[in-house]
Chains A and B, each alone.
Chain A
Amino acid sequence: MATSTTKALTGEEPPGPPGTPGGGKTASRRSALLHRLDVKGAPFAFVAPFFIVFAAFSFYPLVYTSWISLHDVELATLDVMEWVAFDNYVELWGDSQFWNALQNTVTIGVLSTVPQLLMALGLAHLLNYRMRASLFFRVASLVPYATSVAAAALVFTMIFERDFGMINWALGAVGVDPVDWEADKWPAQVAISTIVIWRWTGYNALLYLAAMQAIPADRYEAASLDGASRWKQFTHVTVPGIRSTIVFTIVLSTIGATQLFGEPLIFGQGPNGVTGGADNQYQTLGLLLYEEGWKNYQMGRSATVAWVMFLLLVLAFAAQRLIRRLRSRTS
């Protein structure tokens, strides 16, 4: 599609007023040649840094991960690789800690993503009203985004503290017994999800808000002429109108959820962090990857976990596409 319009924009004809042909003198021919070289080559030079850095530090490591996963490599002797074929995968398949981590990753992923995106949708709807101090509310909802995982997890660790934490104090005030937010499996997963939700709801809300503001006003006018209530307008005009952004945030949150690491690590308060609690009750795949590689010194197994995480992502997106295709076929 680009080729038909190429000439007009990049000026492949030599510079100079029309009517004076560029040929003739060698000097002008050389400058014409240089010009052509510049026009042809410069775009590639401009995009090259991105691709070089990506190839070296992202693509190559990703591919090499699969190679390492077929070897035994110890952290202390990184240059000694012993070929073991699929042993790492077989061991992982038979390892209950892996299945536990996989399960935790999925449950924490659902617990953190679904409420987060629903709340973001509601918040975006609120922010879309005409109002006073709209900038304040937007910046305020973005404040958690400015907080690092580490700082956020430390604060929430204290807020969820069993003995003197604020949540248990508030629960006690309404007559609920204190909850052990670290040692008990489900409370711990809820608490960790809360950190994720807190950090990302406002950011997602701003993405939704941007998309909402691009919905043409006449769609709402048409809907209200048809007698649609505010709620009907929301579900029939707003949500379909920002659909592509919703898909985008689901993709981003899914990627984030499979990689979850900092929140459970720091929430575990030091020694228990890497194992995801004393009984691995909130160990995610990200933590398992780190534990295998940097606590058990088994880099091959660590690479295997990484590769499984990648497969998991691919599967998740394949499933999502399939569901979308099935849905569009039925409707």
Chain B
Amino acid sequence: MTTHSLPVRTDTPARTPAEKPAGRGRRLLRQRAGRQHHAGPLAYVLLVIMAVLSIFPLYWTMVAASTDNTRVSQTPPPFLPGPNLFSNLARAWDEAAMGKAMINSLIVAGVIALSTVMFATLAGFAFAKLRFKGRNVLLMLVIGTMMVPPQLGVVPLFMMMSELGWSQQLPAVIFPTLVSAVGVFFMRQYLSEALPDELVEAGRVDGAHSLRIFWSIVLPVARPAMAVLFMITFVHAWNDFFWPFVVLDMTNPTVPVALTQLSAGYVRDQSLIMAGALLGTLPLLAMFVVFGRQIVSGIMAGAVKG
């Protein structure tokens, strides 16, 4: 063990000793072994039931999206996929403005996730490793902002956007969500564990300025957490509903906004509705299939704060 010439830092608020992660770095994002009981048959049965309940509504979305209106409305309802999946998806893409909505959502969620990750890493680094006046107060302020539901400011926000001429425009959805308190806190927790003080110190001794240290020392260390934060933010931004619903309209919707229009018609075309719902969920499902492990560990790592 090396002797620390640096002061040992004990100022990690909002965390009890029992919840202190065991190690540094990537281990934070890896699942730690907890209690070691083996699961019995009953536990497996219950878990399988939970998994079925979780997945079934989406499976059934696919079933309904692959049949036609008459079959969906039969009793008993269909449980197996029909032949019309791709034609229904194509119809949803063209007729229900889902194509435009998907592209809009991609832009909105992509920009929001990128900017959230960038600003959260910057602020997280400052809160974790830099010393400045009022740091703890400002950090408490960040945590406090998590308690303010954005929905409550919707009337002034709407007025602001129409004054700026952004009503029905994507910037109206993007700008209010460019940063996230959860993201800042998440990156701070990660960097205070994963980034050794010695590295930052070494950069200082070499005469590097703060931005340079951020760029060449912090970013490489932060990358795994940044990737996780990107995905979680993307999911949230993609699914965000209230504010986009208020400020956008059907000529320029995001996916959730377009989905509300699907069900508003006089004749409800059930399989078209389900095809739209499926289409709007597919990108995120694909992300979960490929990066499920990282997303799960990211949510769990963010959770260890109590």
- The residues of A with any CB-CB pair to B shorter than 8 Å are 1-2, 5-6, 8-11, 15, 34-35, 38-40, 42-44, 46-47, 49-51, 53-54, 57-62, 64-65, 68, 78, 122-123, 126-131, 135-152, 154-159, 163-166, 169, 172, 198, 202-203, 206-207, 209-217, 220, 241, 244-245, 247-248, 251, 255, 258-259, 261-262, 265-266, 269-271, 273, 286, 289-290, 293-294, 299, 302-303, 306-307, 309-310, 313
Contact of A2 among B53, B129, B135, B295 (CB under 8 A): B135
- The residues of B with any CB-CB pair to A shorter than 8 Å are 5-7, 9, 11, 16, 18-21, 31-39, 43-44, 46-47, 50-51, 53-55, 57-58, 60-61, 64, 72-77, 119-120, 122-123, 125-127, 129-132, 135-136, 138, 141-142, 145, 147-160, 162-163, 175-176, 178-179, 181, 184, 197, 200-201, 204-207, 209-211, 214, 235, 238-239, 241-242, 245-246, 255-257, 259-260, 262-265, 268, 270, 273-274, 276-278, 280-281, 284-285, 287-288, 292-293, 295-296, 299-301, 303-306
CA distance A9 to B128 in the complex (A): 11
Contact of A60 among B16, B55, B77, B156 (CB under 8 A): B156
> Which residues in A have their C-beta under 8 angstroms from that of B163?
78
CA distance A215 to B263 in the complex (A): 47
Tell me whether B292 and A169 are in contact (CB under 8 A): no
Supply 17 further A-B pairs (C-beta < 8 A) apart from A5-B9, A10-B131: A2-B135, A2-B136, A35-B209, A61-B155, A130-B38, A131-B44, A135-B296, A140-B54, A141-B54, A146-B281, A151-B256, A163-B73, A206-B303, A214-B32, A259-B242, A306-B154, A313-B149
Tell me whether B34 and A215 are in contact (CB under 8 A): yes
Tell me whether A126 and B47 are in contact (CB under 8 A): yes
Q: Known: A154-B263, A169-B75. Contact between A261 and B151, CB under 8 A? A: yes
CA distance A143 to B60 in the complex (A): 14
CA distance A202 to B52 in the complex (A): 12
Contact of B179 among A54, A214, A313 (CB under 8 A): A54
Tell me whether B263 and A269 are in contact (CB under 8 A): yes
> Which residues in B have their C-beta under 8 angstroms from that of A255?
147, 149
Tell me whether A46 and B126 are in contact (CB under 8 A): yes
Contact of A306 among B11, B34, B152, B209 (CB under 8 A): B152
Question: When A and B form their complex, what is the total count of cross-chain residue pairs whose Cβ atoms lie within 8 Å?
Answer: 367
Tell me whether A271 and B264 are in contact (CB under 8 A): yes
CA distance A54 to B178 in the complex (A): 9
A87 CB to nearest chain B CB (Å): 16
A237 CB to nearest chain B CB (Å): 9
> Which residues in A have their C-beta under 8 angstroms from that of B241?
148-150, 261-262
9 A-B contact pairs sorted by A residue (CB < 8 Å)? A122-B46, A148-B281, A150-B239, A198-B57, A210-B304, A245-B303, A290-B246, A310-B152, A313-B149
Tell me whether B153 and A5 are in contact (CB under 8 A): no
Tell me whether B288 and A129 are in contact (CB under 8 A): no
Q: Known: A5-B131, A46-B130, A244-B306. Contact between A169 and B76, CB under 8 A? A: yes
B100 CB to nearest chain A CB (Å): 16
B292 and chain A: residue at smallest CB distance: A139
Tell me whether A42 and B44 are in contact (CB under 8 A): no
Tell me whether B77 and A166 are in contact (CB under 8 A): yes
Q: Is the interface of B mostly helix, strand, loop or mixed?
A: helix
Tell me whether A141 and B197 are in contact (CB under 8 A): no
Tell me whether B55 and A143 are in contact (CB under 8 A): yes
CA distance A261 to B277 in the complex (A): 18
> Which residues in A have their C-beta under 8 angstroms from that of B150?
57-58
CA distance A92 to B162 in the complex (A): 27
Q: Is the interface of A mostly helix, strand, loop or mixed?
A: helix
Tell me whether A57 and B175 are in contact (CB under 8 A): yes
Contact of B43 among A129, A143, A151, A217 (CB under 8 A): A129
Contact of A64 among B36, B75, B156 (CB under 8 A): B156
Contact of B35 among A49, A212, A299 (CB under 8 A): A212
A263 CB to nearest chain B CB (Å): 9
Tell me whether A137 and B155 are in contact (CB under 8 A): no
> Which residues in A have their C-beta under 8 angstroms from that of B38?
129-131
> Which residues in B have their C-beta under 8 angstroms from that of A49?
119, 122-123, 178-179
The 4 closest A-B pairs by CB, nearest first: A61-B153, A244-B306, A213-B34, A42-B210
A152 CB to nearest chain B CB (Å): 7
Contact of B149 among A145, A213, A258, A293 (CB under 8 A): A258
Contact of A164 among B75, B157, B280 (CB under 8 A): B75
B256 CB to nearest chain A CB (Å): 4
